[in-house]
Structure 1
Amino acid sequence: MHIIDTTLRDGEQAPGVIFSLKEKLHIAALLDEAGVKELEIGTPAISLADENDIRTINNQGFRFNATCWARACISDLQAAARTGVSRINISFPVSAIHLTALGKNRDWMLTSLSTIVKQAQNMFAFISVGAQDASRCQANLLDEFVFAAHNLKVNRIRLADTVGIMNPKSVQNLFERYQNCLYGTELEFHAHNDLGMATANTISALQAGANAVSLTVNGLGERAGNAALEEVVAAMAFSLSETSEINLEACIRLCEFVEKASGRKSSASKPISGKKVYSHESGIHCNSLLKDSMTYHAFDPNLIGQKSQFVIGKHSGLAVVKNALKGMDIYLNDEQSKQLIEAVKERSIRKKSELNSKELQQLYLNLIDCESN
């Protein structure tokens, strides 16, 4: 199970997202630290500045393999070669809708595939070809592309769900179709999240025989984004019980930095990296969690450098309020506890939010003042 991060390529294609060279280097360093073995570090044909940035990243001596993305034309191959990378991913439109939009057809696709791949093999050590919009390509046409690429002895074929219309079952069928037919050629899945299934689809691809998957930090990307690196790594660890050799705690630092550098704020409830996904308020949940931290967690948050947190608010029960007060060395009798819970609920409803420790302490002091008067 080989993970490719494409935050610096497909992630930066998200509208309005631009990483400075300093930010690119820091993201690359964090990904390297996390243990990601391959990065798609950009598209050199975009501009001379992008070409120079890619060359700089490639020359840093990182441990990961650096790959460039290119269209199926010789000028893109030349731009990639000038950066010094030894690996390239060449994208070919394969669906009728994409071919027609570009004024191309099946014959162009197959002829261009042969011509461009042969040229690339004289320039790069590792060749990947991407079937863009594979999910909307007619099965027989996709077969022609995949087997033609395999016969050209490319190293990897990327099957892209370019507009995110697939589901776990259709992904399974797609990869099982080629699972035992492409000896010596790796198969990669590239998922988009338009229908909210990118992570699930990626896991399905891995279960059905994909050798590699391409992901982005925070799921950053065009439209609804891509499959999220941190979600897929966590799902592999805690749902599939498979090791990816990627450090999830380092992924959390990555998520925080990419959120800041991209200007794309993640939801507080986003799986794995969301600020509130390990927080609990419900009285029933908190009471159980105080007895066993795994009652309402899929995995121990401490494994990824996070921790379970209790929120005091409208839905809080007696157990968690007593626990919070215990941390302040405050102990209440049953009647005081009952009165304080009512005060907590009333204040939380007025505030339309949870209460912080100072507010809880103040409610306790108010209660004591009332008793003394």
Structure 2
Amino acid sequence: MTESPRTVRIMDTTLRDGEQTQGVSFSPDEKTNIAKVLLDLVRVDRIEVASARVSPGELDAVANIVDWAARRGLAERVEVLGFVDGGRSVDWITRAGGRVLNLLAKGSEKHCVGQLGKTLDTHAADVRETVGLALARGLKVNCYLEDWSNGYQDKPAYVYGLVERLADVGIAHFMLPDTLGVMTPERVFCAMSDMILRFPGLLFDFHPHNDYGLGTANCLAAAQAGVAAVHCTVNCLGERAGNASLAEVAVNLRDQLGFEIGIDETHLARVSELVEYFSGKRVADNAPIVGADVFTQTAGIHADGDKKGSLYHTRLSPERFARRRKYALGKLAGKASLAKNLERLDISLSEENQRRVLARIVELGDSKKTITTEDLPFIIAEVLDSKDYNHAQLLACNVSSSLDLESTASIKICLGDEVVTAAGSGNGAFDAFINALTKPLKRNGITLPELKDYEVRIPKGGRADALTECIITWDTERGSIKTRGVHANQVFAAIAATMRMLNILMHGAAAERPADVPDAVV
């Protein structure tokens, strides 16, 4: 007989615990949008969206989320943290339309005595009273045992006694936090196994923190022990070092432990990007699953192995997450790396020209230049002395910015065989340039794509006169692409990146292409 797959629920607390990240505060609209993606697209089982009584804005956010969720039959999956406060949290959550209270109790004697100044019996009685108030108002109640990990280690009898006193009051889930992130996977497994065996009629969740970098591993250990649910956040947001990563936990539960979970992996990168944008906290390029570079092969030998038989592929295929594999161009690139990028661009080159282009790529990589797939057509044009990517040339440009006045730009540009001039104004010098450039482009039926992201940086330790690198991400019909410009003036670096994008657009629209470079548009 085939063994049934093991299951575990996932509760995402980005909108509550994740907001305890230093400097992170989501607006009501931002919270609502993140909640919609988590429940509707990523399909997490539960979300914790706020702490009760924080602010009027928080009340509005909870009301908006619950209203949206109720219309889709998902209101029971929206949870709010509340406190033992004489029923004020219950009133707040009820006023917001909430259906689930996650009640915070003290899971260690140290917290109970040192912070509350109460005995176990007194605290348990207070918790029971609040649970009774919540149930009478129609709320479902879960209960956090704050500092459970230290409480279990220091005095397990206190933890057992608290759970025994609350076991019959109607709590749906007892949620056991590693509040300070001090546990190891072995300790999590043993402690969780003990709690589950000792209280077989109760449901337990595990809530990790990542202070030692063990958040994901501890979630897996808890799942192996048999917990009902594990808690995560998007992009590891949370207090101090944060919580366990939703993406990492979900993928490891499936791949390493064979658990059946309801997560739609194709939207993990999307929710990561959304939270990154709203939180202002950048995700590391090498972050597992969602990082910008995690599906990029840098070494030429890896590209060669993939070309000859997908030798460096694993179950973590980019297609699984609605992403794409890339092969980096730099000093470690080989013939296969170049070939993979040429294939992506649908460009054909002779063996000799590939050798020349690769030599130039290695040379640029040696000087620490950043090379992207979008740079390839320009490197090819440079190496082969081709004029294919000179469809548009900026012949002259003057930009001016003043305090409390609009910026202005005057340009002289060659579009094909036509030389034109234009002027524009805007909110900053680059905006003025874009407005000036738009005029002759419009007359020629050309529309620049939407600017999606804009980065400016100088080398570390650079001086005030250091070169500036501007990288602009554009949202085109064929996906996002990046163009790069370098100049001592950051406005002109951005202008150079824009001109590169314009040439890509014009080349893609050209009816005839040279036989050796049939298509250079991403």
Q: TM-score, normalised by structure 1?
A: 0.91
* Preserved contact between residue 322 and residue 331 of structure 1 (Cα < 8 Å): no
CA drift at 1:343: 3.3
Query: Which one of the candidate residues 130, 153, 156 is aligned to 1:116?
Result: 130
Which residue pairs with 1:201 in the alignment? 218
Q: How has the CA–CA distance of structure 1 residues 315 and 101 changed in structure 2, closer, same or farther, with 3 Å as cutoff?
A: farther
Contact 1:285 1:296 in 2 (8 A): no
Q: Are the counterparts in 2 of residues 88 and 124 from structure 1 also a CA contact under 8 Å?
A: no
Structure 1 residues 85-114: Cα deviation after superposition (integer angstroms, max 9, x where no partner): 221110112224433542424333323233
Equivalences for 1:71-150 in 2 at 5 Å? 71-74=83-86, 75-107=88-120, 108-137=122-151, 138-150=155-167
1:330-351 deviations in Å (ceiling 9; x for gaps): 1214xx655554432221121x
Query: In 1, Cα distance between the equivalents of 2:10 and 2:221?
Result: 14
- Does the CA-based 8 Å contact 1:94-1:109 persist in structure 2? no
Partner residue in 1 for 2:271? 254
SS at match of 1:45: coil
Q: Could you say which residue in structure 1 is the equivalent of 2:347?
A: 328
- Structure 1 or 2: more helix by fraction: 1
Counterpart Cα distance in 2 of 1:289 and 1:147 = 57
Distance 1:362 1:47 in 2: 53
Deviation larger for 293-302 or 134-143: 293-302
1:190 aligned to which of 199, 207, 210: 207
- Cα distance in 2 for partners of 1:253, 1:124 equals 35
Offset at residue 322 of structure 1 (A): 3.5
- Across the aligned residues of Structure 1 and Structure 2, the Cα RMSD in angstroms comes to 2.2
Q: Distance in 1 between matches of 2:131 and 2:340?
A: 65
Q: 2:290 maps to which residue?
A: 273
Question: Which of 27, 40, 46 is equivalent to 2:54?
Answer: 46
Residues 128-181 of structure 1: CA distance to partner in whole angstroms, max 9, x if unpaired?
111101111122211112222223341110000111111111110111002233
**1:87 partner amino acid:** V
* Range 229-238 or range 95-104, more displaced: 95-104
The aligned residue for residue 7 of structure 1 is 14
Q: Identify the structure with bigger relative contact order (alpha carbons < 8 Å, sequence gap 6+).
A: 1
Which residue of structure 1 lines up, in the alignment, with residue 372 of structure 2?
356
Query: Higher strand share goes to which structure?
Result: 2
Number of equivalences: 367
Cα deviation for residue 288 of structure 1 reads 1.3
Alignment CA distance shift 1:359-1:257 (3 Å): closer
Counterpart of 1:70 (choices 82, 85, 92) is 82
CA distance in 1 between counterparts of 2:305 and 2:356 reads: 23
> What TM-score does the superposition give when structure 2 sets the normalisation length?
0.66
SS state at 1:89 partner: strand
Give the letter for the 2:25 counterpart: I
Letter aligned with residue 329 of structure 1? S
Deviates further, 256-265 or 217-226:
217-226
User: Measured at CA, do residues 24 and 366 of structure 1 come closer, stay the same or move farther in structure 2, by a change above 3 Å?
Assistant: closer
| Larger Rg computed on CA atoms | 2
Secondary structure in structure 2 of the residue aligned to 1:151: coil
**Residues 16-61 of structure 1: CA deviation (Å, up to 9, x unaligned):** 2111111111111111222123221212211233223212221122
Tell me which amino acid in the other structure corresponds to 2:26: F
Identity within the alignment, %: 27
